[in-house]
Amino acid sequence: MNIPVFLSAILCAALLTPGVAPARQPSDAATNSAPGSATYAASNSRSGSASDAASDVAADAASGSASDATSGGPARPGDVESLKQQMLQIQDGLRQLRTEHQREVSALKAQVARLHETVADLQKTGACRPSPAAGAHAATAATQPPVAAQAPFPTTDDSVVAAPAPFPTTDDSVAAAQAPFPTTDDSVVAAPASSRATAAPPATSLPTTDSSASAAPATSIGSRLAQPITLAGGGKSFLNISFDGQFSAAASTEKHLDALEVGDHDPQQRGFNARNIELALDGAVDPYFEGFANIVFKLDNDAETSVELEEAFMQTTTLPWNLQAKGGQFFAPLGRVNAQHPHTWDFVDTPLVSGRLLGPDGLRGLGLQVSWLAPLPWYSQLSLAIQNGNGAAAFSFRNRGDGGTFYGRPTMDRSLEGVQDLVFVPRFENSFDLTPTQTLLVGTSGAFGPNDTGAGARTEIYAADVFYKWKSAHSEGGWPFVKWQTEALLRRFEAGRGEGDAFPADEAFDDWGAYSQVVWGFSKGWTAGLRGDYLHMEKSSFTDDPERQSRWRTSPNVTWFPTEFSKFRLQYNHDFVESDRFTGSSDADSVFLQFEFTLGAHGAHKF
């Protein structure tokens, strides 16, 4: 039955009845509703069309039969004319309803056609292909006896799916985070779905800067492998665990590749290398703090495994006046690349200036850092880190060196006796959105503290960095884009006479260097990069340390990201080492193939 027409018929009958019947009590003729009367037509309108019933009523009213049957007198001409006008209005309304109905049907048909096209596209790309595990689960379920369905709770939202928590907990912040895969879009955030296609309640916001702690459902085997490994307990705490494996194959004209490469995470030998296997943990400790930890496993050239606690620190989330503090073991905020983990690098190896002036492991250590975000229209942050500054991870400071020798000088054990023996690292950085698609970040920083080559020997490091990024306004998954990064460092190193003034003279070295790199994301999942390095080491009049040779390097590469959880990188290096008073010049050519995978959700890194 056509519902709009039926409702119109009822409206017609309601409008006609008061106009025909008199205000007084109806007569027996009206009560009996004789055939041909208005009441009879209205009462029988359900079994016929509304328009036919309305036409019969108008005809009877015009001839006076309806009025005669109800009131015993002829109808007035004005009443008949009024009825005709009402009928015309009703017919116009019916035509409008029919037109609107046809439009709605056409729109629904078009929407269904678009949905069919979307499903067909997803089937072509394999996004809708069921996983083997899902097929096995369905086959198993088909052989099981039916289970009585639980009565749904009162709701009209057919998207609501009730699902029990995966384990007993009262923590409403528990949510597994993972982007659906395959995809290379680093902006994708996701929320987990169980293997039974149920949905967990949405997580509440936590005081954390980890933007990876959001999530979206995935049910295939590949997606489940890529989901964050999340442990949760009561209260507001959670813990994300990720595992990153980075490997490389190397070929070089230099036999001793470990002498050519300057970073501890760089390839160290011809053949295969595993220099950075990282276990990362992060999460909210409570409403006031969040914690981070990075544990790195490495295989040396003799296939012996070493483990280092790269970072482990606690950071505040609720300090007033735009302040933030962190304490523990962490990278110093010196320059740009120093605080970045190897899996975020755009190249296989460390820039020359960073490896030689800050050390193979970068500048990091135990300490405290305080940052203040200035209340300005753009991003502006001032920070100060204070660290112990001792050991191999404080290369240019209180570092005894290999076998108690540093730059050819016997070192002394300078224990921490006061504030003057700490390393201070200030940094000031600003970021500007030049346009909606262009961002510029500039920073200046420094590091100041003692070194172990003499009782009063000190080291000063100054750094400046620039980072620019353009991303298309019509980008897909972050592509295309262009990134340009440049960093320069100057180190003034006071080299003392060592333990017991064993070395013949003091020296002061003004060493400096810079690198500049461009990375072009030319197609989704593909980038091409080019980096140039130069390092100037002031010549010593007394030592022949090969680490004090000036040099330069050129490095082109190409990288493919099948998804955000894996990558392959091919890079070529040409190194030229300048001669000094004791050692001649040399050059070398190297090729690296790097491959990397990530399990779980890794915390977002600073821009």
Kindly give, in sequence order, each residue whose CB lies less than 8 Å from that of residue 542, ignoring residues fewer than 6 positions away: 408, 503, 504, 505, 507
Q: Which neighbouring-strand residues pair with 410?
A: 405
Kindly give, in sequence order, each residue whose CB lies less than 8 Å from that of residue 80, ignoring residues fewer than 6 positions away: 61, 62
Helix or strand (DSSP H, E) at 472: strand 458-476
Residue 186: the pLDDT is 46
Q: How confident is the model at residue 607 (pLDDT cuts 50, 70, 90)?
A: low
pLDDT higher for 373 or 199?
Answer: 373
Q: What is the DSSP letter of 33?
A: T
Tell me the residue length of the chain. 607
Q: What is the DSSP letter of 500?
A: G
Residue 117: the pLDDT is 78
pTM of the full structure: 0.64
Q: Is 469 within 8 Å of 482 (Cβ atoms)?
A: yes
Q: Is 567 within 8 Å of 559 (Cβ atoms)?
A: yes
Residue 34 has pLDDT above 50, yes or no: no
Q: Which neighbouring-strand residues pair with 531?
A: 517, 555
Helix or strand (DSSP H, E) at 481: strand 479-495
pLDDT digits (tens, 9 = 90+) for 129-155: 444 444 444 444 444 444 443 444 444
Residue identified by tokens 């665990």 is 241
Q: Kindly state the tokens that stand for 224.
A: 């489940």
Residue 158: the pLDDT is 45
Worst-scoring range by mean pLDDT, 119-133, 508-522, 578-592?
Answer: 119-133
Kindly give, in sequence order, each residue whose CB lies less than 8 Å from that of residue 434, ignoring residues fewer than 6 positions away: 440
Q: How confident is the model at residue 104 (pLDDT cuts 50, 70, 90)?
A: confident
pLDDT higher for 89 or 295?
Answer: 295
Q: Kindly state the tokens that stand for 560.
A: 């493919």
Give the CATH fold of the 311-599 domain: Porin (2.40.160)
Residue identified by tokens 């439009």 is 103
pLDDT higher for 536 or 221?
Answer: 536
Q: How far apart are CA 470 and CA 126, in angstroms?
A: 32
Q: Is 573 within 8 Å of 590 (Cβ atoms)?
A: yes
Q: How confident is the model at residue 103 (pLDDT cuts 50, 70, 90)?
A: confident
Q: Is 460 within 8 Å of 420 (Cβ atoms)?
A: no
Question: Phi and psi dihedrals of 324, rounded to 5?
Answer: -145, 140
Q: How far apart are CA 587 and CA 589, in angstroms?
A: 7
Kindly give, in sequence order, each residue whose CB lies less than 8 Å from that of residue 50, ignoring residues fewer than 6 positions away: 5, 6, 8, 9, 10, 12, 94
> What average pLDDT does range 561-578 have in this prediction?
96
Average pLDDT, the chain: 77
Q: Is 309 within 8 Å of 279 (Cβ atoms)?
A: no
Residue 26: the pLDDT is 39
Q: How far apart are CA 536 and CA 553, in angstroms?
A: 12
Residue 81 has pLDDT above 80, yes or no: no
> What average pLDDT does range 501-521 have in this prediction?
94
Per DSSP, the residues of 205-238 read P-S---TT--B----SHHHHHHS-EEEE-STT-E
Q: 273: helix, coil or strand?
A: strand
Buried b (16+ CB within 10 A) or exposed e, 225-240: ebbbebebeeebbbbb
Helix or strand (DSSP H, E) at 121: helix 77-125
> What average pLDDT does range 305-327 have in this prediction?
97
Worst-scoring range by mean pLDDT, 29-38, 358-367, 509-518?
Answer: 29-38
Kindly give, in sequence order, each residue whose CB lies less than 8 Å from that of residue 322, ignoring residues fewer than 6 positions away: 372, 373, 374, 375
Residue 78: the pLDDT is 64
Q: What is the DSSP letter of 541?
A: S
- CA neighbours closer than 13 Å in the CB half-sphere of residue 138: 7
Maximum CA extent, the chain: 138
Q: How confident is the model at residue 126 (pLDDT cuts 50, 70, 90)?
A: low
> What average pLDDT does range 467-483 have in this prediction?
94
Q: How far apart are CA 179 and CA 226, in angstroms?
A: 8
Q: Which neighbouring-strand residues pair with 239?
A: 231
Q: Is 533 within 8 Å of 488 (Cβ atoms)?
A: no
pLDDT digits (tens, 9 = 90+) for 388-407: 999 999 999 999 999 899 99
Residue 155: the pLDDT is 45
Worst-scoring range by mean pLDDT, 46-50, 109-113, 544-548?
Answer: 46-50
Among 487, 480, 535, 491, smallest CA distance to 513 is for 535
> What average pLDDT does range 15-39 have in this prediction?
40
Q: Is 294 within 8 Å of 305 (Cβ atoms)?
A: no
Residue 528 has pLDDT above 90, yes or no: yes
Helix or strand (DSSP H, E) at 595: strand 586-599
Among 294, 339, 227, smallest CA distance to 564 is for 227
Residue identified by tokens 């961002």 is 439
Q: Is 461 within 8 Å of 484 (Cβ atoms)?
A: no
Residue 97: the pLDDT is 83
Kindly give, in sequence order, each residue whose CB lies less than 8 Å from that of residue 425, ignoring residues fewer than 6 positions away: 332, 333, 334, 363, 384, 385, 386, 387, 445, 446, 447, 448
Domain ranges of the chain: 3-98, 311-599
